[in-house]
């Protein structure tokens, strides 16, 4: 069985981390895309992120990803207001993760991985998904350390 890195990213940091993790682990890689577009400008994106969080919106996923051949999924996301973006809820809604291990990783301006971890744990618990402890991937050093 193989591993895959699935990431959500609007400004490229999580994409870069995901590419590095895919390279280091020999994983395939896919972007978690939404059907909606994300504003380029920070203020609009911030307002949208807050509204989605406050209204418990689970954005619709556009990506078609066949997970049959994978047993390990590295799941990457930026930290938004000390939480994962709401599309991470959609990830757990949309994919059959039975018998798979999910390893989350985050990028952030400064927040720790641990700040978002309880939210992902709750999503995983609700779907009976096996989640293992993840890591922040703000630098190559953090990625190397997190993959140990």
Ligand X SMILES: Cc1cc2nc3c(=O)[nH]c(=O)nc-3n(C[C@H](O)[C@H](O)[C@H](O)COP(=O)(O)O)c2cc1C
Residues that bind ligand X (CB under 6 A): 9-15, 42, 45-46, 49, 78-82, 107-111
Residue closer to ligand X, measured from CB, 25 or 111: 111
**Cβ atoms of residues 100 and 73 within 8 Å:** yes
Residue closer to ligand X, measured from CB, 4 or 87: 87
Residue closer to ligand X, measured from CB, 2 or 81: 81
- With the C-alpha atoms ordered 91, 95, 98, 102, is the resulting torsion angle positive or negative? negative
Residue closer to ligand X, measured from CB, 26 or 109: 109
**Cβ atoms of residues 28 and 69 within 8 Å:** no
Burial 23-51 (b: 16+ CB within 10 A, else e): eebebebbbbbbeeebeeeeeebeebbee
Closest CB 40 distance from ligand X, rounded Å: 11
Closest CB 144 distance from ligand X, rounded Å: 18
Closest CB 49 distance from ligand X, rounded Å: 4
């Amino acid at each position: 069985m193989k591993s895959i890195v699935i990431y959500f990213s609007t400004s490229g940091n999580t994409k870069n981390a995901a590419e590095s993790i895919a390279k280091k682990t020999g994983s395939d890689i896919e972007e978690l895309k939404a059907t909606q577009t994300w504003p380029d400008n920070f203020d609009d994106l911030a307002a949208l992120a807050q509204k989605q969080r406050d209204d418990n919106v689970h954005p619709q996923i556009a990506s078609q990803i066949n997970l049959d051949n994978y047993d390990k999924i590295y799941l990457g996301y930026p930290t938004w207001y000390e939480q994962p973006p709401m599309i991470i809820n959609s990830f757990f809604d949309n994919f059959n993760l039975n018998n798979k291990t999910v390893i989350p990783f985050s990028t952030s301006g400064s927040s720790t991985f641990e700040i978002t971890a309880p939210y992902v744990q709750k999503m995983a618990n609700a779907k009976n998904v096996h989640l293992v402890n993840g890591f922040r991937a703000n630098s190559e050093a953090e990625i190397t350390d997190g993959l140990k």
